[in-house]
Amino acid sequence: MIPVYWQLATHELTANDPVMGQLIQQYDDALLKSHGNAFTTLTRSIVGQQISVKAAECMWQKMIHVIPDIAPQVIHDTDEELLRQCGLSYRKIGYLRNLSLHFMTDRLNISEWNAMDDEALIRQLVQVKGIGRWTAEMFLIFHMLRPDILPLDDIGLQRAISLHYFDRQVVSKKNMLDLAQQWKPWRSVATWYLWRSLDPLPVEY
């Protein structure tokens, strides 16, 4: 599923920010897409915590090779050593099993998600052990397709903003927020193109 707002967002971002316009033109070969499965997106986000896009993709490919069916009951029941062979730490395995339990026992109010604003949904998700703000933001961008998420703690976003807007200098979160004012209400889209500029693989969760 591709966001319905993508064309409008790229048009407005290009008009408001010449640097962003160049990135959009340069990386027009792929779009952000939702895979339509909340559990898979959260699982993949946990797998990708604190590692590079390339490392996360490698680990994910190992997982889907040995566990083609990424489903709560399956992940919960998979042998720990098999998950370790995919590159997962014991901590991440614990997080995934806890997430599986939340889905298996309906502890998450999934039916309410579409009606919740961004911050309310983030507050609910971070109650799950193993889901911090970054993981929740990835979920909002890649599963919920929320258009205006700016993941300030994302190292890739920090690097890309430094590279394209601050001559490779260290960038504060305040500077990031100030810069991103011109991207509203499409900060998720701007973030995606900034990620894209750093890595030959489009970011996916």
Contacts of 47 (CB under 8 A, 6+ apart): 56, 59, 60, 63, 88, 92, 96
Could you give the C-alpha distances from 202 to 53, 158, 184, 191, in angstroms and in order?
9, 17, 22, 12
Q: Which domains does the chain have, with CATH numbers?
A: 6-32+149-196 (1.10.1670.40), 38-142 (1.10.340.30)
Could you give the C-alpha distances from 103 to 49, 51, 74, 111, 145, in angstroms and in order?
20, 25, 12, 12, 20
Instruction: Supply the pLDDT for residue 2.
Output: 82
Instruction: Supply the pLDDT for residue 202.
Output: 78
Instruction: Supply the pLDDT for residue 175.
Output: 97
Euclidean distance between CA atoms 144 and 106, whole angstroms: 18
Q: pTM of this prediction? A: 0.92
Euclidean distance between CA atoms 19 and 14, whole angstroms: 8
Q: What is the residue-level pLDDT of the chain in tens, covering all 205 positions?
A: 789 999 999 999 999 999 999 999 999 877 888 888 999 999 999 999 988 888 999 999 999 999 999 999 999 999 999 999 999 999 999 999 999 999 999 999 899 999 999 999 999 999 999 999 999 999 999 999 999 999 999 999 999 999 999 999 999 999 999 999 999 999 999 999 999 999 877 778 8
